[in-house]
Amino acid sequence: MLVFAVALICGAGRGDELPGWLYQRLSRALDLVDLLTNPAQELIQFGDNDSGRLFKLLPRGELLPWSKAVQKYENLKMNGDPVAELYFDENALDYSTLGSMRTTGTFFQALIDELSGHELLKRLEDIPVQADATSRSVGGPSNSIESLPHHHSSSFTCRRNLLDNLQLSYNPSFQVHVFRSDHLYLAISAHTNKQQKLNSGHTHNDKLAIELYLEGKPVLVDPGSYLYTPLPSQRNRFRATTAHNTLQVEGVEQNRVLDSSVLSTDSHCELLEVSEGRLVMSLTYQDVVQVRTIDIQENELIISDSCSHPFRQAWNEFPWYSNGYGKLIRRV
């Protein structure tokens, strides 16, 4: 997204007439950031958390005394003596400053206008936010659900009505599906490694994994990435099937680890059914077939899973969480 923002700044600064599609592309990128932002105002972390921003005009975070930072982050405990009195605890998952590009009068917009010499981003306000996809049936679930021999179901209850202003956003190409309502945020990872044009180095074994917030509070959260090349063993732990809120067959990874950076392309996800308050998806890898069904009712979310092999539903079992590169938090 910032590539397009930089193009806007540079082009407008020279007085160039910028094409309308550039504003449209930036607007759609803002739509995506909004979609993938959970009620904690942080981006969900399906796949690698690359934090690939070219620059950060307004980094978000807080200054902590070193002693408090050490209490929060396990990786700092490994460093021995403090390197400073204060620690800037940056929240790399907070992209709210980018979202403010649409809002007149924000500091971010004023700064961009100053850099470009124009009221550049006001044009974004004239582009409507992309509407959520209308719920519709894409074909009933296949008979494989009934033929799969192993089944488990979990229920998550809520005091308030989960159906209030319920919307579903999904894109068959992007393959991250999001339910949002006044009291629910539910994101499901369903991207297929085989669709990666080069390799699957930035994907995780998080297919059919869920991030869930009820009444604005976290219930199921993806653990993040932690590290890449410095510690391959740690990277593999964070991208393993056992680290995610999905169906887990003992001893079988959704995609095999080929080396320190690349996973295999064994997994294939398919959207079987989508309708109001209901989503059905399948996942196949190696000789494993799995189906996950999401049903949203007034005060209850039901997740029903079926599998060709014995399995378990894993909910926040992984003991670690990382909210940014090199940061390690022990879950309570």
Does any domain span residue 43? yes
Tell me the three state secondary structure of residue 100: helix
- Residue 236 is predicted with a pLDDT of 92
Q: Of 204, 199, 248, which is closest to residue 222 (Cα–Cα)?
A: 204
Does any domain span residue 220? yes
CB 223 within 8 A of CB 230: no
- Residue 1 is predicted with a pLDDT of 57
Q: Are residues 240 and 111 in the same domain?
A: no
Q: How far apart are CA 296 and CA 156, in angstroms?
A: 10
Does any domain span residue 217? yes
Does any domain span residue 197? yes
Q: Phi and psi (nearest 5°) for 246?
A: -145, -175
Does any domain span residue 291? yes
- Residue 4 is predicted with a pLDDT of 56
Q: Which residue has tokens 């809002």?
A: 103
Q: Are residues 167 and 267 in the same domain?
A: yes
**In residues, how long is the chain?**
332
- Residue 143 is predicted with a pLDDT of 47
Q: Which residues of the chain have pLDDT under 70?
A: 1-18, 50-57, 79-80, 98-144, 171-173, 193-201
CATH assignment at residue 226: 2.70.98.70
Q: How far apart are CA 140 and CA 138, in angstroms?
A: 7
Token pair belonging to 326:
């090199």
Q: Are residues 109 and 180 in the same domain?
A: no
CB 262 within 8 A of CB 193: no
- Residue 77 is predicted with a pLDDT of 84
Does any domain span residue 65? no
Q: Are residues 295 and 184 in the same domain?
A: yes
Q: How many domains does the chain fold into?
A: 2
Q: Are residues 309 and 210 in the same domain?
A: yes
- Residue 129 is predicted with a pLDDT of 44
Q: Are residues 182 and 254 in the same domain?
A: yes
Does any domain span residue 283? yes
Q: Are residues 116 and 149 in the same domain?
A: no
- Residue 108 is predicted with a pLDDT of 52
Identify the domain containing residue 28 by its residue range: 2-58+94-126
Q: Are residues 45 and 162 in the same domain?
A: no
Q: Are residues 119 and 180 in the same domain?
A: no
Considering only the C-alpha atoms of the chain, give the largest distance between any 2 of them, rounded to a whole number of Å.
65
Q: Are residues 155 and 294 in the same domain?
A: yes
Does any domain span residue 139? no
Q: Are residues 111 and 163 in the same domain?
A: no
Tell me the three state secondary structure of residue 209: coil
- Residue 78 is predicted with a pLDDT of 75
Q: Are residues 115 and 232 in the same domain?
A: no
**pLDDT tens digit sequence for 103-161:** 555 555 555 555 454 454 455 445 444 444 444 445 444 546 778 999 999 999 999 99
Q: Which long-range contacts (CB under 8 A, 24 or more apart) does 19-25 make?
A: 23/123, 23/124, 23/127, 24/127
- For 2, half-sphere exposure in the C-beta direction (CA atoms, 13 angstrom radius) is 10
